Structure 1
């Protein structure tokens, strides 16, 4: 339950406070994959997400471009608060999801979200990056907010503190907050290697590192600027 609460809290902060800066977030997934390989961690899942508001007057033109790029019409879901259009494409172990959320009121901006998810280390070596770059360049501006997340596992109980210390050294991370509870640990920090960040108390956070030991296995999840997957 505390894991879920922490995740929800982080997502609330993202909605209210993430802001892009100049440094590139493009190579984070590969950097994290290389780190996991060095620590003999098996990559199980990864995700790359782009999120950006869009003026409601521009949504129909954007939707046409999205349908052209995905070569399909979206699924449409309507609620009392908004209309959501979703395009989905699967290629092997890679799933792309493109969403357009249009509020029913005309005051708030709409939101466009692109997520590309894969399973296993092998999928990271496929041509996912070119597809991601194509979608980003055609459907988003330079002010897009990028989220990267990688999940890994190792059979047996590992020294997660030691792994985190190596992670800190590899990416010049300054720890801001540590939360421990009944077998799982979540560390939040900031690295000058990446520009995007979100305010937390009086500091800025742009990376999370979490570990959980369960059933003789240790799961390690890394996310920037926050972890966007359940761990």
Structure 2
């Protein structure tokens, strides 16, 4: 019943374009981004939540066993590159609308810690309503400590050429963002900034940042990706 109620609330939020300041957690941040996109007539194509934390190699070995027992029907992939080994596990029986993956990256240097990464992603706006913050919190407590860094990202598209500078100015105003840096290269633009809206941040030069707004115009469409603290690529 709670999940159904949360889904209804999410639909109302996205439909009206109201910013859910009273909500908390990664789901709330994504809803804020989705609401902003709806206001600016941007179509939500997909979203991602990524959790990252460094763990020792002994902890990583124990985590492998824990994850294998956690999933009902685990799919395990081992990859080796020149600099690291990557262990990935997912559950083939999970909801196909939302994909969940755990990864551990073992550096070639045996003295280096292992990076553990959890990624959950969905396609399109409807999948946002199936994201359960309570379950997400349980995942965090089960496999991560309080030191985990949580990244959220939403991908949107505007069917046409849009003034990305104007859209970003509205983003600055909506989330009280102070711009730190702007990179403009061959039709791709990235703007980073800081806002008190979100707790987590990462250092950059002599300042902290926790927002990134990237745009690319290609084939008559404008793609806008928003992330906090930064936009993360798939591992």
Range class of TM-score, shorter chain: 0.7 to 0.9
Do the aligned partners of residues 57 and 182 (structure 1) sit closer, same or farther apart at CA in structure 2, a change above 3 Å counting? closer
Matched with 1:7 is none
Match of 1:76 among 67, 75, 78: 78
User: C-alpha separation between the residues in 2 aligned to 1:83 and 1:185?
Assistant: 33
Alignment of 1:43-192 (within 5 A): 43-71=44-72, 72=74, 74-79=76-81, 81-89=83-91, 91-192=95-196
User: Which deviates the most, 94-103 or 217-226?
Assistant: 94-103
Q: For 1:166, what is the secondary structure of its paired residue?
A: helix
User: C-alpha separation between the residues in 2 aligned to 1:161 and 1:108?
Assistant: 42
Contact preservation (8 Å) 1:32, 1:150: yes
Alignment of 1:2-41 (within 5 A): 27-41=28-42
> Once the 2 structures are TM-superposed, how far is the Cα of residue 168 of structure 1 from its aligned partner?
0.7
Do the aligned partners of residues 49 and 40 (structure 1) sit closer, same or farther apart at CA in structure 2, a change above 3 Å counting? same
Match of 2:198 among 174, 194, 198: 194
Contact preservation (8 Å) 1:116, 1:132: no
Structure 1 unmatched runs, 5+: 1-22
Per-residue CA deviation, residues 183-228 of structure 1 (Å, 9 max, x unaligned), is 3321111011112222222222111111122222111110111112
Contact preservation (8 Å) 1:25, 1:195: no
How many residue pairs are counted as aligned between the two chains? 208
User: C-alpha separation between the residues in 2 aligned to 1:146 and 1:122?
Assistant: 22
Structure 2 unmatched runs, 5+: 1-23
Q: For 2:227, what is the secondary structure of its paired residue?
A: strand
> Once the 2 structures are TM-superposed, how far is the Cα of residue 163 of structure 1 from its aligned partner?
1.1
Do the aligned partners of residues 118 and 24 (structure 1) sit closer, same or farther apart at CA in structure 2, a change above 3 Å counting? closer
Q: For 2:198, what is the secondary structure of its paired residue?
A: coil
Q: For 1:91, what is the secondary structure of its paired residue?
A: coil
Match of 1:205 among 202, 206, 209: 209
Q: Give the superposed CA RMSD.
A: 2.2
TM-score, normalised via structure 2 length: 0.80
Contact preservation (8 Å) 1:205, 1:225: yes
Matched with 1:5 is none
Q: For 1:32, what is the secondary structure of its paired residue?
A: helix
Do the aligned partners of residues 84 and 96 (structure 1) sit closer, same or farther apart at CA in structure 2, a change above 3 Å counting? same
TM-score, normalised via structure 1 length: 0.81
Q: For 1:74, what is the secondary structure of its paired residue?
A: strand
